[in-house]
Amino acid sequence: MSEDFIQKIWDKGKSQNKELSTQEIEQTLRPHAQRQTFTIRTNVLIWLIILLGTLIFDVLDIVVYSINPTMLMIQISLTLLALIFGAYGIYLLKEIRIIDRADESVIVRLKRLLRFYRTKFEIWNFMMSATLVLLTFAVTSYIDNDAGHYHIGRVELFVFFLVLQFAFMYGANKIGQYPFRKEIKIIMSDLEANVIDGTQTIATRRRRWRKWATILFIIGTILLLLGIWRAMQFGS
């Protein structure tokens, strides 16, 4: 949803000097409602790629720890968990496609997206956060492999850092998704009231949200790299 689209709605309303009908607003909003599902789909695809990288390291870990029964079972269990996450991600892609292709009004589609976010995608939030932990463990256990053995020097710090990674990623996901949910509610409110008042605030909100999104992305990247490095230190 771009600032140009918001301006287009306002210019149309001013030029006609009247309240726009639901049909007129829907006609303008429909392609941008489709972009909302594109955003969700992109998110799921990115994390599926990260999961694929995690699975590659999991398979490598299974090979290098094949002589260690305990670590082998741990690695197999984590691999199965990553596969479950991947299967759920694929399921979400199918659900998104159903929502995107449904021949429904914009407001009905947006209501379905909000319900999707509060239920099925919330589960995905936990899975995304856990994926960061799985990736950290998969990489460090592969790098620190010592003839089929993996030693964690300071277990409490190692666990603390993994929990910190999970908590930060979950919080970052929720904050990052807030603009999306807020925009949907604003558009729904305007559609239900046959007005365009709320859309005026979206452009300003989006500029502010972009700044925070950039900051969170940088912090998340640093945390991932730092988590891998510290885990390697704890494991040595």
CA dist., res. 189 & res. 198, Å (int): 8
pLDDT value for 201: 60
Exposure b/e, 186-198, CB count within 10 A at least 16 = b: bbbebbeeeebeb
Question: For the chain, how far is it from start to end, CA to CA, in angstroms?
Answer: 48
Residue with tokens 């993994």: 162
pLDDT value for 17: 46
pTM for the full predicted model: 0.73
pLDDT value for 221: 67
H or E segment at 170?
Answer: helix 155-193
pLDDT value for 123: 93
Residue with tokens 């949200």: 209
pLDDT value for 211: 67
10-residue stretch averages of pLDDT, the chain, 236 residues long: 48 51 64 73 91 93 89 92 96 88 74 85 92 88 78 75 83 75 70 58 61 67 65 53
